[in-house]
Amino acid sequence: MKALVQRVSEAKVSVDGSVAGEIGRGLVVMAGFRGEDTPEELDWMVEKITGLRVFPDEDQKMNLSVRNISGEILVISQFTLHADTRKGKRPSYIKAADSDTANILYRLFIQKIKDRQFPVAEGVFGAHMYVELTNDGPVTIMIDSPLENMKSLSGASV
């Protein structure tokens, strides 16, 4: 799993002109899944993201997590995080999970965040979405799950 995490002052995602999900201060998480991702990988990612200290404390040092600030999380599925651009000009998405698997993992990932008592908004899986956000900082961080890191380090293809 890969997650692109952005610290925001506000964000929303719309589909067909209607707002599907909206948050105030918190994190936007663009989540990309592989078919090999496991519930344990998702647990690891949820813990990493919700504990990520990217919000400023009273000294303006990034020392607080989304929980510490009582922030919200907007999760959007984004298979393009697994784009392979090493050859040619058209990205390959062969490493991304198939749609059915990705949808299951996406729903499970959101549920795991909710289970930890975070307010969660979400995009619409598989839809063409418009995302509006105010990136605060800007702070944008790419997080790879342990399995993702092992695949990257070993050069293994999936």
Q: Where are the domains of the chain?
A: 2-154
pLDDT over 60 at 32, yes or no: yes
Dihedral through CA 141, CA 147, CA 148, CA 150, nearest 10? 110
What does the alpha-carbon distance between residue 47 and residue 126 come to, in Å, rounded to a whole number? 25
Q: Which residue of the set 78, 101, 117, 140 is catalytic?
A: 78
* Pairwise CA distance, residues 82 & 78, whole Å: 9
- Was domain 2-154 assigned CATH 3.40.50.970? no
Least confident interval from 16-20, 118-122, 148-152: 148-152
CA–CA separation, 33 and 23 (whole Å): 23
Catalytic: 38? no
Q: Percentage of residues in the chain with pLDDT exceeding 90?
A: 92
pLDDT at 147: 79
**Has 80 been annotated as catalytic?**
yes
| 72-77 and 26-32 beta bridge pairing | parallel
Q: What is the mean pLDDT of residues 51-76?
A: 98
- Mapping DSSP to helix (H, G, I), strand (E, B) and coil, where does residue 40 land? helix
CA–CA separation, 52 and 82 (whole Å): 22
Asked whether 131 and 13 are in contact (CB, 8 A), the reply is: yes
Q: What is the largest CA-CA distance in the chain?
A: 48
Which of 10-19, 89-98, 110-119, 145-154 bottoms out in mean pLDDT, i.e. has the lowest? 145-154
| 119 pLDDT more than 90 | yes
* Catalytic position from the list 33, 55, 79, 118: 79
Per-residue confidence (pLDDT) for residue 152, from 0 to 100: 56
Whether residue 85 lies in the annotated active site: no
Question: Sorting pLDDT into bands at 50, 70 and 90, what band is 151?
Answer: low
The angle at the Cα of 119, spanning 117 to 125, to the nearest 5 degrees, equals: 115
pLDDT of residue 158: 41
